Structure 1
Amino acid sequence: MKAMGIQHVAFEDTGILAPLLAARGWQLQTLQAGIDRLDDAETADLLIVLGGPISANDVHAYPHLRVLHALLRTRLAAYRPTLGICLGAQLVARALGACVTPMGAKEIGFAPLSLTDAGLASPLRALVGIPVLHWHGESFTLPDGALRLAATPACAQQAFAIGHHLLALQCHPEVDATRIDTWLIGHADELQRAGIDPRALREQAHRYAAPLAAAARDLFAAWLDALPPPTPVAAAPIATAVPA
């Protein structure tokens, strides 16, 4: 089966997902947002939309977001398996008609999630008590028909799901925390503006990398196991309209 990842910056990659998918026989292709054409992404057996330092609302500054919004609306209307992480989750929420807004403060660092009852019954139960990487300054409202799965004190919307085909995660369980320096270097300006010492984040990453990787593998394995079987669908032209 074919999985496609849409990547916005090089270091926010599929992380521990890549070897997990390979071990299960998935072929993973990574596309660069704003550069690569996304035509085949509409009918991929699995689409993974990754994080990045832009806003899901920045459609005028970053025109590729219009294409991504339309692509996600088409996939989700067809119940095609889709995973959104951080910016990817915000794009999914916006494609479903929800609002993406600034939180007023950055949530950056490792902290555990508080799971709802639905979250405890979902694959996210693997993350109970596990500090997960958070790195965002915006959040989303819960889309109609979505199940809220998790929160933190700083952010009420950390994860949601619709059926078995869609999972949206504001946090970063996919991160390979042994490579956290790529994030610390790539986001150096943001860390400085937020008054966050990269040495503290590096120490957290060293402490939590192993338990987070093990829990995240269990999370994503359980979610992949529950995916509906792929259904061949002919690709249709991707619209360019953006939700108001």
Structure 2
Amino acid sequence: MAVLVVQHVAQEGPYEVGSALEAAGLPLRVCRVWAGEPVPEDLTGAEALVVMGGPMSAYSDDGFPTREAELSLLRTALATQVPVLGVCLGSQLLAVAAGGRAWPGDTLQVG
């Protein structure tokens, strides 16, 4: 079993989150959608799901061809109680998948 990480852009990898998971004995399986890797259709072999950040919009497919597949994967994780961590864009997608919404704040946040 591994933690599935969805990475949207090359420069926004799992970094410290990945290091912490690996230190806890949880191997990573990184899906690099920025490099054309397809989003898995299900969570087979995944113990948890981490969805990283990116400049895309959680509400638009423009420039984000994997958005619907990622929302489907997040909904599956929620329905089957697979632990999920959303970082930046990933948290916005998680909110949308759970039936909530996300919106811009009043201040710029950089992590």
For the superposition of Structure 1 and Structure 2, which TM-score range results when normalised by the shorter chain?
A: 0.7 to 0.9
Higher relative contact order (CA 8 A, sep 6+): 2
Structure 2 unaligned runs (5+)? none
* 1:21-40 CA distance string (max 9 Å, x none): 22222111211125212226
Q: Which has more helix, going by share of residues? A: 1
Which of 35, 55, 70 aligns to 1:68? It is 70
Give the distance between the partners of 2:5 and 2:69, measured in 1 at CA.
Answer: 15
Call closer, same or farther: CA 1:41–1:86 in 2, change over 3 Å.
farther
Give the distance between the partners of 1:48 and 1:39, measured in 2 at CA.
Answer: 13
Give the distance between the partners of 1:102 and 1:18, measured in 2 at CA.
Answer: 27
Give the distance between the partners of 2:67 and 2:86, measured in 1 at CA.
Answer: 14
Q: Which has more strand, going by share of residues? A: 1
Letter aligned with residue 101 of structure 1: W
In angstroms, what is the RMSD of aligned CA positions? 1.9
Give the distance between the partners of 1:55 and 1:106, measured in 2 at CA.
Answer: 17
TM-score normalised by the chain length of structure 1 = 0.41
Conservation of the 8 A alpha-carbon contact between 1:69 and 1:95: yes
What is the deviation of 1:60? 4.3
| Mapping 1:1-244, distance limit 5 Å | 1-33=1-33, 35-39=36-40, 42-43=43-44, 44-103=46-105, 105-108=106-109, 135=110, 172=111
Letter aligned with residue 39 of structure 2: L
Conservation of the 8 A alpha-carbon contact between 1:4 and 1:41: no
Calculate percent identity across the aligned residue pairs.
35
* Greater gyration radius: 1
Matched positions, count: 109
